[in-house]
Structure 1
Amino acid sequence: MKGKIKKWIKRALWGLLGVIAILVLIYWELVSYGVQQGYGQMNIIWNARPVEEFLADPNFPDSLKARLNLIQDVRRFATDSLGLKDTENYKTMYDQKGEEIMWVVMASEPFELKHKEWKFPVIGSVPYKGFFNKERAFTLKQSLEKEGFDVIVRNPGGWSTLGWFTDPILSKMLNRSEGDLANLIIHEMSHATIFVKDSIDFNENLATFIGDRGAERFLIAKYGEGSKEYRDYINEDKDYVKYVNHMLRGAHALDSIYKSMRTEDPVEQKKRIKNETIKMIVTALDTLTLDLNKKPSERFKEKLPNNAYFMNFRQYQAKQNDFWEEYNGAFGGDLKKYIAHLSTRYPFL
């Protein structure tokens, strides 16, 4: 009897291993990517040091110590005054030594503002793919371009692992202005509080809204509404909002152009119309009244933006008016109440 049980267990184990092996083969690309990302993330976490060590280091610049203290102030404000989830995030720092450590690939159809998506467990479909290895990111970029996609690669200022790991401060964050730094920290903390599966555009737009409003509230609470810190942030934000709105209008214009194209139209004709439209959008940038950049079109003098660039603005900014209306109309501009409402309406993942 015991011999039969052992044989049955052995067969069951071999069967289970066989199933696992088959699943690994089927999902090898996903498994391989997950292992690479896990290794990259753990390398950063392992080499991050507690903030207290940097604060106690006499050789660490006082100006950067002030930024580290500011981040801790932002964390407390975000949890106590805004109701964002309190985690162990941003209590350590990883020294990037001036180098970029993550590359995010985004792609869009060439004649349609439709992003390419990748599917992942838990979080669902995502319109970007991140790498801790520059070569892998640009290899994917080249592969997607050969398939005909419009592609961009960007370096994020920060990211959230949604509680799966402990997110450290990245040393390059400390180069940001006080308002911009507060915005980034609150944005990423928002992801760890409210994150809806298969809804990246909603998640990023919401985190952008909470980051913007939260940074304003924080600067007023810490420095006062008439302070230089608050006024500088508002002036920077005014320029950025004008730029964003222009790019969203540009995306709308491109959308209309693409919808007017027919399947049978020659590809070269479509490319010409597309490029002419994008050139018009870029040239019109210089009609914006910006305080900090008098000729914003200069950034595109070497290369025009593509569909993936415009999609990036839609992903982070297109729903801001919707949140504004609900925030002011139903909650009277009370950000903490609005966040509590959203947390109830959208249970985390």
Structure 2
Amino acid sequence: MRRQNQHYFILLLIIFFLSGCTSVQYYSQSIQGQFEVLKKRQDINDILDDPNVSSSLRDKLNTVLQLRQFSTEQLGLPKNNSYLSYADLERDYVIWNIFANEEFSLEPLSWCYLIIGCLSYRGYFSQSEAEKNATHLKQQGYDIYLGGVAAYSTLGWFDDPVLNTMLRWSENYLATVMFHELAHQQLYIKNDTEFNESYADAVAHIGVTRWLRQKHDKGLLDEYNQSQIHEKIFVALVMRYKSILNKLYHSSEDKKTKRSRKKNLFQKMQTEYFEMTKSWGENPYKKWFSSDINNAKLASVVTYRKHVPAFLEIYEKLNKNLAQFYSFSKSLSSCNPMKRKEILKTRKIEFEC
């Protein structure tokens, strides 16, 4: 482990265990999980020097280095040692996130931590621990959604390695994840998960589009553009039903009626999705819709996608100038959360907090 990271690790131990905002047990698993990631890191260049490395891994790690260089030179993302090392965790996901909502609410439950503030989800390095805590919340009456995560950002506290969990899918996916997580290192506002995730998603979209255009890879670019069309349709459907459900939850209907209508709306949403995507061929959201939908599942989408259209429209208004876009986004950090939402809703590029 690098000396710098040793110092950070000791500091985190002190801060986390002095915290009273959540259990020592939770922080313990977080620290152990982070330590496992750091312990398994290997410099990518050292791996590439090994003649026994598979051609598949070699190709992917070379792509990682190219993406990393592009991220700093062309996207202006942080230049540090993140994604210059690799860790094989020997599992499909690095973290499992829990989203929890009350039965008649679309506002996700928040968990608060020192340093990073409050988040609209809770992550576990252990799948069994995540499942146990999800079951506990479900028994308390919450709608629960538990999903595996391929990557996360330590916000610059550590030199984040690229993980085997990030290499399981396409180059487009890898680029999206890397640019998203690096965007968190560049800008992160405490206690505003929707802003942070939407901003990072917008940066990732801009970055992947630029990456594919400079590669002159029409096949990958067409594939990415098609995936974005599908995503817009998916998100629009989620947002539309979120609005319908929100009206229901704030209505004067009794709980029994709300419960019945809620169930019917989610079933209608599933039916509508499968009907409208019959011609898609590959269906990226089939798994999401094939299992039960609830408030928490909707929240997992809203949290990451709510403000993405606003950020992308603002980027266009700024003539696709990334430096100005970053400056604009950073200036929003001085506004209170309500003002930030108002600015993003109106897409104004000139404002006062």
Report the TM-score, using the length of structure 1 for normalisation: 0.84
Q: Does 1:157 align with 2:150?
A: yes
Q: After superposition, where does 1:245-260 map in structure 2 within 5 Å?
A: 245-260=236-251
Contact 1:282 1:300 in 2 (8 A): yes
The alpha carbon displacement at 1:261 in A equals: 4.2
SS class of match (1:183): helix
Q: Which residue of 1 aligns with 2:41?
A: 48
Which deviations, in whole Å up to 9, do the C-alpha atoms of 1:182-219 show, x marking residues without a partner? Answer: 11100000000000011111000110111111110111
Contact 1:113 1:311 in 2 (8 A): yes
Q: After superposition, where does 1:301-340 map in structure 2 within 5 Å?
A: 301=290, 303-329=291-317, 331-340=318-327
The alpha carbon displacement at 1:152 in A equals: 1.0
The alpha carbon displacement at 1:88 in A equals: 1.1
Distance 1:99 1:322 in 2: 32
The alpha carbon displacement at 1:344 in A equals: 5.1
The alpha carbon displacement at 1:116 in A equals: 0.5
Q: Which residue of 1 aligns with 2:231?
A: 240
- For residues 26 and 56 of structure 1, do their structure 2 counterparts lie closer, same or farther at Cα, with a shift above 3 Å needed? closer
Q: Which residue of 2 aligns with 1:273?
A: 261
Q: Which residue of 1 aligns with 2:185?
A: 192
- For residues 180 and 38 of structure 1, do their structure 2 counterparts lie closer, same or farther at Cα, with a shift above 3 Å needed? same
Q: Does 1:346 align with 2:333?
A: yes
Contact 1:193 1:343 in 2 (8 A): no
Which deviations, in whole Å up to 9, do the C-alpha atoms of 1:136-177 show, x marking residues without a partner? Answer: 211110111111111111111210010122211111312221
Instruction: Give the stretch that moved more between structures: 95-104 or 147-156.
Output: 95-104
- For residues 220 and 25 of structure 1, do their structure 2 counterparts lie closer, same or farther at Cα, with a shift above 3 Å needed? closer
Instruction: Give the stretch that moved more between structures: 193-202 or 127-136.
Output: 127-136
- For residues 24 and 216 of structure 1, do their structure 2 counterparts lie closer, same or farther at Cα, with a shift above 3 Å needed? closer
Distance 2:24 2:158 in 1: 18
The alpha carbon displacement at 1:343 in A equals: 3.5
Distance 2:17 2:219 in 1: 56
Distance 2:333 2:21 in 1: 32
Q: After superposition, where does 1:263-302 map in structure 2 within 5 Å?
A: 265=254, 267-289=255-277, 291-293=280-282, 300-301=289-290
Distance 1:113 1:209 in 2: 23
The alpha carbon displacement at 1:111 in A equals: 0.7
Structure 2 stretches of 5 or more lacking a match?
1-15, 335-353
The alpha carbon displacement at 1:178 in A equals: 1.4
Q: After superposition, where does 1:81-120 map in structure 2 within 5 Å?
A: 81-120=74-113
Instruction: Give the stretch that moved more between structures: 283-292 or 62-71.
Output: 283-292
- For residues 148 and 180 of structure 1, do their structure 2 counterparts lie closer, same or farther at Cα, with a shift above 3 Å needed? same
Report the TM-score, using the length of structure 2 for normalisation: 0.83
Structure 1 stretches of 5 or more lacking a match?
1-22
Of 12, 25, 47, which aligns to 1:32?
Answer: 25
Q: Which residue of 1 aligns with 2:7?
A: none
Distance 1:60 1:25 in 2: 43
The alpha carbon displacement at 1:131 in A equals: 0.8
